[in-house]
Amino acid sequence: MEQAAGFDLVAGRSNPLLIGEPLPTGRDDSGRDDEAAFSIPWVLSTIAFTLVALPRSLGHNLELRMSRGFLSKLDAVALPVMLALRAARRAVRPVAHCKVGGLTIAIRISTPNEHYRADTYATKEPETIEWLRENLRDGDVFYDVGANIGLYSLYAAKLQRGCRVFAFEPESHNFGNLCGNLLLNRVENVTPCFFPLSSHEAFAPFYVYDLRPGGALHSLGRPSPLRDGPPLLKTGALAATIDALVSRHGLPPPDLLKLDVDGNEEQILDGAAAVLTSGSLRSILVEVTWPDERGPALTWAESRLSPYGYRLKRKSAWSIELGRQRSANFIFVR
Assigned CATH topology for domain 125-333: Rossmann fold (3.40.50)
Q: Which helix (H) or strand (E) holds 127?
A: helix 126-135
Task: For Cα atoms 309, 313, 314, give the angle at the middle one, nearest 5 degrees.
Answer: 145
DSSP 3-state assignment of 284? strand
**Nearest C-alpha neighbor of 250 from the set 237, 238, 261, 240:** 240
- Cβ atoms of residues 168 and 145 within 8 Å: yes
Q: Per-residue confidence of the chain (334 residues) as pLDDT tens digits?
A: 333 333 333 334 333 333 334 433 333 333 333 333 334 444 444 444 444 444 444 444 444 444 566 667 667 778 888 888 888 888 888 999 999 999 999 999 999 999 999 999 999 999 999 999 999 999 999 999 999 999 999 999 999 999 999 999 999 999 999 999 999 999 999 999 999 999 999 999 999 999 999 999 999 999 998 888 999 999 999 999 999 999 999 999 999 999 999 889 999 999 999 999 999 999 999 999 888 666 666 789 999 999 999 999 999 999 988 777 889 999 999 9
User: Rounded to whole angstroms, how far apart are CA atoms 269 and 302?
Assistant: 12
Instruction: Please name the amino acid found at residue 195.
Output: F
According to DSSP, the residues that pair with 98 across neighbouring strands are: 105
DSSP 3-state assignment of 123? coil
**Ordered DSSP codes for 11-62:** TTEE-TT-SSSPPP-SS-TT--SSS-SS-HHHHHHHHHHHHHHHHHHHGGG-
7-57 residue pLDDT tens: 333 334 333 333 334 433 333 333 333 333 334 444 444 444 444 444 444
**Ordered DSSP codes for 150-209:** SHHHHHHHHH-TT-EEEEE--SHHHHHHHHHHHHHHT--SEEEE-S-B-SS-EEEEEEE-
Residue 172 burial (10 A CB sphere; 0-12, 13-18, 19+): middle
Instruction: Please name the amino acid found at residue 279.
Output: G
CA distances in angstroms from 263 to 221, 225, 269, 325, 328, listed in the order given: 11, 8, 12, 11, 12
Residue 96 burial (10 A CB sphere; 0-12, 13-18, 19+): buried
* Sequence ranges of the domains in the chain: 7-92, 125-333
- Cβ atoms of residues 169 and 194 within 8 Å: yes
User: Rounded to whole angstroms, how far apart are CA atoms 198 and 261?
Assistant: 10
Q: Which helix (H) or strand (E) holds 141?
A: strand 141-145
So what's the pLDDT on residue 199? 96
According to DSSP, the residues that pair with 191 across neighbouring strands are: 166
Instruction: Please name the amino acid found at residue 5.
Output: A
CA torsion sign, 265 to 266 to 270 to 274?
positive
User: Rounded to whole angstroms, how far apart are CA atoms 169 and 167?
Assistant: 6
Q: Give the distance between the most distant pair of CA atoms in the chain.
A: 77
Length of the chain: 334
- Cβ atoms of residues 111 and 2 within 8 Å: no
pTM: 0.78
